[in-house]
Amino acid sequence: MNLENIRQFILIMSDLVPYIIWEKQEGCLCAQHCLNSLLQGEYFTAVDLSEIARNLDQAEQAALSEGATEQLQTEDNRNANASTTSQNMDDSGFFSVQVLSHALKVWNIDIIPIGSEDGRIAKIHPEDEIAYICNLHEHWFTLRKFGGLSSRWYNLDSLLRGPESISQTYLGMLLNQLENEGYSIFVVKGQLPSSQADEYGKSLPDPNLQRQNVDEIDQAMIDAAIAASLENNDVSNNKEDVTKPIDEQNNGSEPLSSTIAEQPTIDELRAKRLAKFDRVDGK
């Protein structure tokens, strides 16, 4: 293998995992882990998300009570009421999709259901999106693209041992599987803040091209192995030719056995010699 092939293999072994920000699951703070892995930074804490949830609760209550008889409430009563009737968070640490959506507004990022009119295109070309947020049974996690490459997707689920690479082909299959299992999938729309992993990913070759190079290298090695095998067969065949009966080496010519059969026997030769001697004696 030449130096260029070795270089290609080294590039193929390179990975983004050491540069990706991924948070391991703590308690039920998967929504926090989901957002921070999406944005690639420790941008949100449980306290931040709780504050957003309380504000949403108050806004929802105000909307529900609009037009009704105005009632006087103290600040303490409003907070107590919000905490007991919240639809956006609970004591376990779960936060609603409204909380995640509101948290991303500051980045001008929207999340839309993949089954909506605007989200259907993602089912046709899922690799062209920037990220997905998935939820099932109060668990949130992110699927994200790095370096702007359609072939560099990672599963950033906080329940995993770490970021897991997703091939471009498997991405669509994974989304279909999650949807069939009942997951709610949201397409991330907007521009994510650039991260170290994004910048490093741009400096690496496209994995699709890497796989193509590996295939070419493998094919070259296969061709060389076949050629070597053929050479060995030729040598082996030559050795077999030496050990074959002489008749089989005449390649269709008259067998040597028939030639031998045409030669005089020893008795015939003796008779001829005696006849010759008799003629000599008779002279």
Catalytic residue among 34, 57, 102, 139: 139
Catalytic residue among 30, 33, 34, 57: 30
State CA 206 to chain mean position distance. Answer: 12
The burial of 104, by beta-carbon neighbours within 10 Å (0-12 exposed, 13-18 middle, 19 or more buried), is given as buried
Tokens of 99: 């909380």
Catalytic (active site) residue 28: no
Catalytic (active site) residue 34: no
Catalytic (active site) residue 30: yes
CA distance 173 to 217: 29
Catalytic residue among 33, 102, 157, 198: 157
Residue where the block lists tokens 């193509």 = 212
Tokens of 240: 């077999």
Instruction: Catalogue the long-range contacts made by 56-62 (C-beta closer than 8 Å, 24 or more residues apart).
Output: 56/88, 56/96, 56/98, 56/99, 56/102, 57/82, 57/85, 57/86, 57/87, 57/88, 58/82, 60/87, 61/85
CB atoms within 10 A of CB 173: 12
Residues acting as catalytic residues:
30, 139, 157
